[in-house]
Amino acid sequence: MDVFDLTRRLISIPSTSGIEGEVVEFIAGQLREIGFGVKVWDALPGRPNVYARVGNPDVVMSSHTDTVPPFFDVREDDEFIYGRGACDTKGLIAAMIVASRELIKEGVNDFGLLFVVGEEAGSKGAQDANKVDNTCRYLINGEPTESKLALGSKGGVRLILRAHGRAAHSAYPELGESAIHKLVGVLADLSATRLPTDPTLGSTTMNVGLINGGVAGNVIAPEAEAELVFRVVSKSVDIKRLIEECIAGRVEIQYTFECDPVFMQRLDGFETSVVSFTTDIPMLTNWGLPLLFGPGSILDAHTADEKISKAELARAPGSYAGIVRQLKERIRNGQ
């Protein structure tokens, strides 16, 4: 099975966050066929991680098996393969597997593959994988970076804001207290707050992704909530302090995820970039020094027309194999 065939097969198996089991079973079978020892275990009930290795890995390639909704099946034209997960990250997983097959044929030993669940929804799989005993020196994390080594990635803070009010007839607003009005005021103040910048990573950004609240158009809203994501360029604790100072107790805050920005390794022969998205790397601190690389563009990920370039995908196995070889050389030289 070549990298295009494997990408098509992976895309055709739905694996939105929470239903990764079937695609993990398929991946584990592919890895056993090419000679890996494979461990599969539930990171969450019915949601398995997979760790495959030859020897005692000091270099591990890693990515996530879940995708965002909605699922849509594979199709292609002369230039691209389309489908949910094409670039985020099933094309990358296919490239890693094909690269691993070639490395094993060459006699390369002591490397592995780690695929985790739930990166798109809190990185619970990575958090669980971080408990696995290993002697890994370098972690090559796969995300769509346009085949450039990303030298930095932003951190993230996810939170839910909950406002409470008092219901009343909308003709008599003085008898109630609108949770929606309260929430909108807080969101406006947060939007006007000056957020940190970094000369390498750029600006901290805020997205209000979901808003819910109220019971009817002619009722003063008794409850409202919003889900926010900050892409951060400073320590997450600093952003949380700014959030709390701005809100000043007006609404409840529930933090659901946080991680700091990460700076990664560079290698000879690879173009470099900086990315604004967050990865599993901050949750995989026990897997060695991180690198971030993958074919495809993050601008195509999560869209209704997600795709990956066939030309770029065809080059990706050689790139991943080359990264492993360079890192192995570093280790032999005591780096």
The last residue of one of the domains, among 238, 259, 280, is 259
Whether residue 244 sits in one domain with residue 279: no
Whether residue 49 sits in one domain with residue 133: yes
Question: In sequence order, what DSSP letters do the residues of 168-204 get, joined into one string?
Answer: -BTT-GGGSB-HHHHHHHHHHHHHHS---EETTTEE-
Q: Which amino acid is at 6?
A: L
Residue-wise pLDDT for 94-147, tens only, equals 999 999 999 999 999 999 999 999 999 889 999 999 999 999 999 999 999 999
Q: What's the domain count of the chain?
A: 2
What average pLDDT is seen over the chain? Answer: 96
- What is the pLDDT at residue 93? 98
Output phi, psi for 249, to 5 deg. 80, 5
Residue-wise pLDDT for 273-301, tens only, equals 999 998 999 999 999 999 999 999 999 99
Single out the residue of 181, 169, 156, 173 nearest to residue 250, CA to CA: 181
The model's pTM is 0.87
Whether residue 269 sits in one domain with residue 133: yes
Report the DSSP beta bridge partners of residue 245: none
Whether residue 38 sits in one domain with residue 137: yes
Question: Strands, E, within 128-251: which ranges?
Answer: 138-141, 149-153, 155-164, 197-198, 202-203, 205-213, 223-232
Is residue 79 among the annotated active site residues? no
Mean pLDDT across 319-323: 98
Residue 188: which CATH number? 3.30.70.360
The last residue of one of the domains, among 259, 293, 319, is 259
Domain that holds residue 209: 155-259
Whether residue 317 sits in one domain with residue 216: no
Residue-wise pLDDT for 189-237, tens only, equals 999 999 999 998 999 999 999 999 999 999 999 999 999 999 999 999 9
Among 33, 76, 119, 245, the one annotated catalytic? 119
The last residue of one of the domains, among 229, 259, 289, is 259
Residue-wise pLDDT for 228-262, tens only, equals 999 999 999 999 999 999 999 999 999 999 999 99
